[in-house]
Amino acid sequence: MTRKMEIDGVEVAFSEGETVLEVAQRHEKEIPTLCYDPRLEPFGGCRLCIVELEGARNPVASCTTKATPGMVIRTTTDTIEAYRETLLEMVVGENREVDVSPLRGYAAGELADLRDKYDVSSTGITGAKSGTNKTDDNPFILRDYELCISCYRCVRVCAEQEGDHAINVMNRGFHTQITTEFDGLLKDSACTFCGQCIQTCPTGALADKKALRAVDAVGDAIPDKTRTICPYCGVGCSIDVLTKDERIIGIHPAMDGPANQGALCVKGQFAYDFVHHPDRLKTPLIRGEDGELHEASWEDALDKAAEGFRKVNAKHGRHSIYGVASGRAPSEAAYLMQKFIRVGFGTNYIDNCSRA
Amino acid sequence: MSNPLVDMQKPDVIFCIGTNMTECHPVAATGLKKAVARGAKLIVADPRRIGLAEMSDLYLPLRVGSDTALLLGMAHVIAREGLIDDAFIKDRTTGFDAFFEHISQWTPEWAETITGVPAKDIETAAMWYGSVDKSAIYYTLGITEHICGVENVQSLCNLALMTGNIGREGTGINPMRGQNNIQGAGDSGALPNNYPGFQSVTDPEHQAKFRTEYGTEVDLEKGITKVTALELCGDSIHAMLIDGENTLLSDPDREHCEHALRSLEHLVVIDIFLTETAELADVVLPATAWGETDGVCANTERRVQRLRAAVPPPGEAKSDWWIICQIAQHLGFKGFDFETPIPIFNELCRVSPIYAGLDWDRIEKSEYQWPVPHKEHPGTPRLHEETFVNGRGIFSNVHYRDPAETIDEEFPVWLTTGRRLQSYHTRTQTGRAEGIDYLLPEESLEVNPVDIEKWKLADGEWCKMSSARGSITIKVKATNRSPRGTVFASFSFADVPVNVLTGSGYDPVTHTAELKVCPVRLDPL
């Protein structure tokens, strides 16, 4: 049986268990949200996603309201938009700043985008600022709680997505403060520095310190993004590499990555800069008469590499040469390594590094 | 993995053995945590009280290297309690009658004497695994890095086959692969027993195919494994081409390994850093790193995905594929005139039936899990749904064997090795990533606090750890993660080269080293 409801005067189908917000988004209705992350259980905290439900006395939060047959919903009435504007004014007025670097995190610009969309002035409602920054000497996660709007996305992503339960809430109401157990440092908590809190935060209150350190070098411009796969374990998480001026300056998890669906770990999130380390080999090296390795041209190095295999082959035969392929280079390298051994020497003297 | 990663959220019972998933595959572990939050039961078998053990419903702290005994005991209980799936056994498997008789002798009480796990807990684990609709097995190198790695895997297969927990959503036998393209390296044929696509080198049909494809004769017998090759260095192996592996730190028995590589007449290493291994080479060729290379990789669930270059390489570094092509061309080999990685991958697809439906353009969106036998095929998220590749699932009448070396008066402590969350392999990468040192500045040996006192060591102080092969000094860390009599260290830190100690033995079939078991002695400094 198809289930039907009405959204903005149009009859639409929905499936059992869908929320009003999910149905509306599927039909390309633009409903503003701040506490919503599609990967997490609905929370209903920010109230921006309110809609009019026919028959209900007050607007309802569309993220926590399940769709039911015959429901009549209006997503964008003048009243609803006015409510949203007021809510946004209050949220914006509580914060030290709204325009933050896009390097702070994947969702860091959400509040600024909504402020612009609703043309909310930051001086509309001025009052006390909420949230107290926490000094934390960790190199990865900035805890700039003056920008916190108590949407609890960090608390929930840590619990629901990561299962780490490292982030908590202290106090209530205006004095609500995001913190960790015993209000200590992240490294003394259950935090694994996966960076998920940074990436879901809609205001940049929790921010990527490592990426922000690159701001001095590259300015505040929006970085380029390249979709690729994390270089570490075999899970194969999809990531977007942020680059500026030929430097990698940060990593965003790919929310639609088939293996990770937005999740990452500390290595994939933060351990990318080995690529630019000064230790990187930049030229070929050849061992000289003195027994030391010396820089060489590609032509000389390739000559020497080939010459060695030719000599050993001539002297000891084709079963004296062995190839080891990498588990971290792309498949093309492994394929050609086995082809090199099989075509070049007619043997199966080839392996990769999976046995140890 | 027989099943896709998304299946991790779906089992009723999850059996994790020899996998420290929250540290080594943290993102995969998030799926498992969600299953547990939803109410799935988690059984964890591991010598160490790892993070997974803390969140488990049933923890089986087995002695290192005793997995086969534990799994035989579980199979015994499943059979005894009538928890077998008769229809599945009849339709899909072979050899059950003999197996049924075989396991009648391996009681949980016997398994307790080997593993140290109480018989009643072995019974509970078996009852849980065998009595629900969907049970899934997850394992990592804690199963395979033993002299009995093959028997361990076969024992897991026995459990899945006798209960019909394979070929369905939320079930399966799921090894987690450790490197981002270790699956792809095997898929690509970098193996002594298989051509690309796991086509056996001893099959005349495959031999004929590659004779035509490559235009050369190729040996009709299997090659030797890297382990054997290292043993034969200076004897019958005289030249090696190593791409992106820090053999000297990652392989067991460092002294043997260094001696082997030094005795080569010619060693060429392709890498991104001057690793300990590259330092021994005659020629070192600078490769592009991740982030600088276009290519393809395959993950632990057989998903074939694109790697994309985001930044240019430093200096004159070149792609691995280009370097290998150039060496081949300098030797006059045919079939290496590639200008980009695209035709290389497409050639791999053309010669590999499991990749036959793929090409460079089709994998743009990471949609396919192999096998993808033709262009109309949607890929295979779940293996063995209808049939097994070899027809029927085979029960294996395995026997428990002791590790290659067991503790004695001289070396009375079990050392087991592995990885940590914040470091990766030999730290060529994570050791050069800013900030990681804040979380993990140095290696330490995890020792039970009671043992620290008994062995006259001190928390935070250095000790000498020796095995039959050598000794190192390492800082002691008191933790209840280590059980009494067993200690743990990672192999990541060059200044604490644990592989000086390991290397007691190898699985005779796979030649995988017994890196998980090494009797040692600890002395205060």
Q: What is the pLDDT of residues B22-50, one digit of tens each?
A: 999 999 999 999 999 999 999 999 999 99
Shared-domain flag, residues A24 and A102: no
Please give the pLDDT value at position B413: 97
- For the CA atoms of chain B, what is the radius of gyration? 24
Does this complex have an ipTM over 0.85? Answer: yes
Q: Do domains B178-222+287-373 and B413-524 have the same CATH topology?
A: no
Do residue A356 and residue B250 have CB atoms under 8 angstroms apart?
Answer: yes
Residue numbers of the domain that contains A145: 87-276
Shared-domain flag, residues A149 and A40: no
User: Does an H or E element contain B174, and which?
Assistant: strand B173-175
Max CA separation in chain B (angstroms): 67
Q: Has residue A122 got a pLDDT over 70?
A: no
Would you say B33 and A194 are in contact if contact means Cβ atoms under 8 Å apart?
no
- For the CA atoms of chain A, what is the radius of gyration? 27
Please give the pLDDT value at position B55: 95
More confident residue, B503 or B219: B219
Q: What is the DSSP string of B243-289?
A: ES--HHHHSS-HHHHHHHHHT-SEEEEEESS--TTGGG-SEEEEBP-
Nearest to A228 among B27, B240, B308 (CB): B308
Shared-domain flag, residues A160 and A272: yes
- Mean pLDDT of chain B, nearest integer: 96
Shared-domain flag, residues A353 and A305: no
User: Domain extents for chain B?
Assistant: 5-176, 178-222+287-373, 224-286, 413-524
- Residue B477: which pLDDT band, with cuts at 50, 70 and 90? very high
Shared-domain flag, residues A162 and A268: yes
- Residue A163 in any domain: the answer is yes
- Residue B451: which pLDDT band, with cuts at 50, 70 and 90? very high
Would you say B201 and A350 are in contact if contact means Cβ atoms under 8 Å apart?
no
Q: How far is A186 from chain B (nearest CA, A)?
A: 11
Please give the pLDDT value at position B251: 82
How many beta-carbon contacts under 8 Å exist across A and B? 478
Per-residue pLDDT reduced to its tens digit, A211-239: 999 877 767 678 899 999 999 999 999 99
Please give the pLDDT value at position A123: 60
Do residue B435 and residue A324 have CB atoms under 8 angstroms apart?
Answer: no
Per-residue pLDDT reduced to its tens digit, A137-193: 999 999 999 999 999 999 999 999 999 999 988 888 888 888 888 889 999 999 999
Do residue A282 and residue B27 have CB atoms under 8 angstroms apart?
Answer: no
How crowded is residue B61: how many other Cβ atoms within 10 Å of its Cβ? 18
Do residue B27 and residue A263 have CB atoms under 8 angstroms apart?
Answer: yes
User: Which of A:112-171 have CB within 8 Å of B?
Assistant: 137-140, 160-163
Map residue A243 onto helix, strand or coil: strand
- Residue A47 in any domain: the answer is yes
Which two tokens mark B371?
A: 């096998």
Per-residue pLDDT reduced to its tens digit, B154-166: 999 999 999 999 9
Shared-domain flag, residues A210 and A237: yes
Give the pairing type, strands A3-7 and A72-74. parallel
- Residue A124: which pLDDT band, with cuts at 50, 70 and 90? low
What φ, ψ does residue A307 adopt, rounded to 5°?
Answer: -60, -40
User: Which of A:316-335 have CB within 8 Å of B?
Assistant: 316, 319-335
- Mean pLDDT of chain A, nearest integer: 93
The type of residue at B87 is A
- Residue A133 in any domain: the answer is yes
Q: Which of A1-5, B180-184, B369-373 has the lowest mean pLDDT?
A: A1-5
Nearest to A305 among B214, B251, B283 (CB): B283
Would you say A24 and A62 are in contact if contact means Cβ atoms under 8 Å apart?
yes
- Residue A187 in any domain: the answer is yes
Do residue B28 and residue A235 have CB atoms under 8 angstroms apart?
Answer: yes
Please give the pLDDT value at position A121: 75
**Contact list, A273 vs chain B (CB under 8 Å):** 432-434
Map residue A84 onto helix, strand or coil: helix
Q: Could you give the percent of chain B with pLDDT greater than 70?
A: 100
Which two tokens mark B369?
A: 């899990």
Do residue A308 and residue B282 have CB atoms under 8 angstroms apart?
Answer: yes
Q: How far is B455 from chain A (nearest CA, A)?
A: 29
Do residue B219 and residue A346 have CB atoms under 8 angstroms apart?
Answer: yes
Distance, CA of A89 to CA of A95 (rounded, Å):
10
Nearest to A343 among B177, B310, B334 (CB): B334
Shared-domain flag, residues A232 and A110: yes
Please give the pLDDT value at position B427: 86
The type of residue at A337 is M
Find the residue in B nearest to A241 (Cα).
Answer: B310
| CATH number of the domain where residue A34 is located | 3.10.20.740
Distance, CA of A297 to CA of A11 (rounded, Å):
70
User: Does an H or E element contain A298, and which?
Assistant: helix A298-316
More confident residue, A51 or A176: A51
Question: Strand pairing partners for A294?
Answer: A286
Query: How many structural domains does chain A have?
Result: 4
Q: What is the DSSP string of A168-200?
A: EEES-GGG-EEEEGGG--GGGTT-----HHHHH
Give the pairing type, strands A350-352 and A321-325. parallel
Do residue B241 and residue A309 have CB atoms under 8 angstroms apart?
Answer: yes
Q: Has residue A356 got a pLDDT over 70?
A: no
Which two tokens mark B41?
A: 């039961």
Distance, CA of B407 to CA of B521 (rounded, Å):
9
Shared-domain flag, residues A143 and A212: yes
Per-residue pLDDT reduced to its tens digit, B297-311: 999 999 999 999 999
**Contact list, A161 vs chain B (CB under 8 Å):** 30
Mean pLDDT in residue range B435-448 = 94
**Contact list, B201 vs chain A (CB under 8 Å):** 348
**Contact list, A265 vs chain B (CB under 8 Å):** 26-27, 421
Q: How far is CA B241 from the centre of its chain?
A: 23
Question: Which CATH class, in words, describes the domain spanning B178-222+287-373?
Answer: alpha beta
Which two tokens mark B482?
A: 């280590």
Mutate to test the interface with B, among A283, A302, A324 (most CBs of B within 10 A): A324
**Contact list, A327 vs chain B (CB under 8 Å):** 178-182, 185, 244-245
Burial class of residue A338, CB neighbours in 10 A (0-12, 13-18, 19+) = buried
Question: Which residue in the block uniquely carries the two structure tokens 């497409």?
Answer: B346
Mutate to test the interface with A, among B174, B276, B311 (most CBs of A within 10 A): B311
As a 3-state breakdown, chain A gives helix, strand, coil percent values, each rounded to 5, of 35, 20, 50
User: Does an H or E element contain A154, and which?
Assistant: helix A153-156
- Residue A82 in any domain: the answer is no
Please give the pLDDT value at position A228: 98
Shared-domain flag, residues A220 and A111: yes
Q: Could you give the percent of chain A with pLDDT greater than 70?
A: 97
Q: Which of A6-15, A325-334, B426-435 has the lowest mean pLDDT?
A: B426-435
**Contact list, A252 vs chain B (CB under 8 Å):** none
Question: Strand pairing partners for B264?
Answer: none
Per-residue pLDDT reduced to its tens digit, B309-352: 999 999 999 999 999 999 999 999 999 999 999 999 999 999 99
Do residue A331 and residue B295 have CB atoms under 8 angstroms apart?
Answer: yes
Question: How distant, in Å, are the alpha carbons of A21, A33, A82, A96, A124 from that of A87?
Answer: 18, 11, 9, 17, 11
Q: How far is A267 from chain B (nearest CA, A)?
A: 6
Taking the Cβ of residue A77 and every Cβ of chain B, the question of whether any pair is shorter than 8 Å is answered with: no
Find the residue in A nearest to B330 (Cα).
Answer: A306
Question: How distant, in Å, are the alpha carbons of A8, A12, A16, A64, A66 from that of A2?
Answer: 19, 10, 9, 22, 16
Q: What is the signed CA dihedral for B143, B149, B155, B160, rounded to 10 degrees? A: 60
Would you say A341 and A349 are in contact if contact means Cβ atoms under 8 Å apart?
yes
Per-residue pLDDT reduced to its tens digit, A134-150: 899 999 999 999 999 99
Mutate to test the interface with A, among B324, B369, B423, B430 (most CBs of A within 10 A): B324
Shared-domain flag, residues A250 and A127: yes
Do residue A343 and residue B366 have CB atoms under 8 angstroms apart?
Answer: no
Shared-domain flag, residues A147 and A250: yes
Please give the pLDDT value at position B46: 98
The type of residue at B260 is A
Mean pLDDT in residue range B206-229 = 95
Question: How distant, in Å, are the alpha carbons of A303, B140, B201, B390 from that of A346?
Answer: 21, 34, 12, 28
Give the pairing type, strands B194-195 and B199-200. antiparallel
Shared-domain flag, residues A153 and A243: yes
Please give the pLDDT value at position A1: 64
Question: Which residue in the block uniquely carries the two structure tokens 């990967």?
Answer: A39
Q: How far is CA B439 from the centre of its chain?
A: 25
What secondary structure letter does DSSP report for B63? Answer: P
Do residue B214 and residue A348 have CB atoms under 8 angstroms apart?
Answer: no
Please give the pLDDT value at position B284: 98
Domain boundary among A76, A95, A116: A76
Burial class of residue B342, CB neighbours in 10 A (0-12, 13-18, 19+) = middle
**Contact list, B146 vs chain A (CB under 8 Å):** none
Distance, CA of A18 to CA of A72 (rounded, Å):
15
Would you say B466 and B518 are in contact if contact means Cβ atoms under 8 Å apart?
no
CA atoms within 13 A on the CB side of B374: 1
Per-residue pLDDT reduced to its tens digit, A67-101: 999 999 999 999 999 999 999 999 998 888 899 99
Q: Which CATH number fits domain B5-176: 3.40.718.10, 3.20.20.140, 3.40.630.30, 3.40.228.10?
A: 3.40.228.10
Distance, CA of B473 to CA of B399 (rounded, Å):
37
Give the pairing type, strands A238-244 and A247-253. antiparallel
Q: Which CATH number fits domain B413-524: 3.50.50.60, 2.40.30.30, 2.40.40.20, 3.30.530.20?
A: 2.40.40.20
Do residue A334 and residue B188 have CB atoms under 8 angstroms apart?
Answer: yes
Question: Which residue in the block uniquely carries the two structure tokens 């990592």?
Answer: B140
Q: Which of A316-325, B258-267, B403-412, B485-494 has the lowest mean pLDDT?
A: B485-494
Distance, CA of B513 to CA of B516 (rounded, Å):
8
Max CA separation in chain A (angstroms): 92
Mean pLDDT in residue range B195-211 = 97
| CATH number of the domain where residue A105 is located | 3.30.70.20
Q: How far is B472 from chain A (nearest CA, A)?
A: 20
Closest CA to B160 of B139, B178, B179: B139
